[in-house]
């Protein structure tokens, strides 16, 4: 994530790391692997997606900050509860002795716990093994699987490419090529009735994307259905008109939009609608349905940044945003 807008300190990130993984038993003992490329996950598992690649994980795993879980593991080493970890907050400027150990400490579950992590990669497709880690590379994405060998094999067998993921989120979206774009066609969400579901899709904006990699791709996703989806649209529609909170003086213009954005794809009896939620930069923050921009509110934001969509820091520092965006559990 772009260093010019990193105003959330690593101290804050360390303070929340213990809350980022949910206590859980390792995994259901009866889970059965599925063949590579199959759209079916073992019973009791769930899908996680990143960059157009999906992987199945046991359903009781939590979520964590990859910067601290795998990259700077020595800040808080130990066999933490199983979790899916994603890139997010900046990696602390600390060396964990990876050049003096074989295998490096971050490759050992005694230090990191059972973990599935993601990154973009320029390497070709393939699979590597080292320590307690299997790394599966597919279509420009690497899936890092750190667990006992039997479980690494089970998880690796579920890795496959998708164009639209389990939550209904496309791998790419035009918002990544234009962070100031508004939803088109516009749709007044205050007039939506009979809301049935929302795909909540987190995308990078250009500053986060390497010119050497293919087009920017989906970072994470979740889905709200039924009453939860209808309640979310009501919360957004009830937010004050005007957008914000913004703090334009704190960002250089080229990074003022931040490095990620959430797009809501809502379905209802009155049709489909997109809503953007900007939160990571210094300008244009808020909910935008193409007709009206509304202010970010805790009630509207919290359901959208749960689970895989968690925010661990790295956004422009406005205390009101910090209070509603960082994990509280």
Please indicate, yes or no, whether residues 115 and 30 belong to a single structural domain of this protein.
yes
Please indicate, yes or no, whether residues 116 and 193 belong to a single structural domain of this protein.
no
Please indicate, yes or no, whether residues 178 and 152 belong to a single structural domain of this protein.
no
Each residue's pLDDT, cut to its tens digit, for the chain (329 residues) gives 433 333 333 333 333 333 333 333 333 333 333 344 455 788 999 999 999 999 999 999 999 999 889 988 888 888 899 999 998 766 666 768 655 667 888 899 999 999 999 999 999 999 999 999 999 999 999 999 999 999 999 999 999 999 999 999 999 999 988 878 999 999 999 999 999 999 999 999 865 445 556 688 999 999 999 999 999 999 999 999 999 999 898 888 888 888 899 999 999 999 999 999 999 989 999 999 999 999 999 999 999 999 999 998 766 666 777 788 876 55
Please indicate, yes or no, whether residues 143 and 229 belong to a single structural domain of this protein.
no
Into how many domains does the chain fold? 2
Which of 126, 161, 196 delimits the end of a domain? 161
Please indicate, yes or no, whether residues 281 and 182 belong to a single structural domain of this protein.
yes
Instruction: Print the domain residue range for 151.
Output: 3-36+64-161
Please indicate, yes or no, whether residues 218 and 133 belong to a single structural domain of this protein.
no
Of 25, 125, 130, 24, give the one whose Cα is nearest residue 70. Answer: 130
Please indicate, yes or no, whether residues 292 and 186 belong to a single structural domain of this protein.
yes
Which residues lie below 8 Å from residue 108, measured CB to CB, with a gap of 6+?
131, 132
Of 124, 127, 139, 161, give the one whose Cα is nearest residue 214. Answer: 139
Please indicate, yes or no, whether residues 193 and 290 belong to a single structural domain of this protein.
yes
Please indicate, yes or no, whether residues 272 and 248 belong to a single structural domain of this protein.
yes
Please indicate, yes or no, whether residues 11 and 148 belong to a single structural domain of this protein.
yes
* pTM: predicted TM-score of the whole model, two decimal places: 0.85
Which of 161, 184, 218 delimits the end of a domain? 161
Q: Is 191 a domain residue?
A: yes
């Amino acid at each position: 994530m772009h260093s010019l807008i990193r105003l959330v300190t690593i101290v804050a990130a360390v303070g929340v790391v213990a809350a980022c993984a949910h206590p859980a038993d390792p995994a259901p003992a009866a889970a059965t692997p599925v063949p590579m490329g199959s759209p079916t996950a073992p019973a009791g598992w769930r899908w996680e997606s990143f960059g157009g690649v999906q992987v199945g994980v046991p359903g009781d795993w939590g979520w964590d900050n990859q910067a601290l879980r795998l990259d700077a593991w020595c800040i808080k080493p130990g066999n933490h509860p199983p979790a899916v970890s994603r890139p997010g907050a900046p990696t602390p400027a600390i060396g964990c002795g990876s050049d003096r150990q074989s295998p490096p400490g971050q490759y050992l579950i005694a230090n990191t716990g059972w973990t599935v992590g993601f990154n973009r990669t320029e390497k070709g497709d393939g699979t590597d093994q080292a320590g307690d880690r299997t790394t599966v590379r597919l279509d420009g994405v690497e899936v890092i699987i750190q667990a006992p060998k039997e479980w690494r094999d089970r998880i690796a067998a579920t890795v496959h490419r998708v164009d639209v993921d389990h939550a209904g989120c496309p791998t790419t979206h035009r918002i990544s090529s234009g962070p100031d774009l508004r939803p088109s066609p516009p749709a007044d969400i205050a007039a939506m009735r009979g809301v049935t579901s929302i795909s909540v899709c987190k995308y990078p904006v250009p500053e986060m994307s390497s010119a050497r990699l293919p087009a920017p791709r989906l970072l994470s996703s979740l889905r709200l259905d039924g009453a939860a989806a209808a309640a979310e649209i009501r919360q957004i529609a009830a937010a004050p008109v005007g957008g914000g909170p913004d703090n334009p003086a704190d960002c250089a213009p080229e990074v003022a939009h931040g490095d990620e954005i959430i797009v809501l794809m809502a379905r209802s009896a009155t049709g489909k609608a997109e809503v953007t939620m900007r939160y990571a930069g210094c300008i244009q923050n808020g909910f935008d349905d193409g007709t009206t921009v509304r202010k970010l509110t805790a009630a509207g934001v919290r359901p959208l940044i749960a689970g895989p969509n968690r925010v661990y820091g790295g956004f422009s520092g406005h205390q009101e945003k910090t209070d509603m965006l960082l994990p509280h559990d």
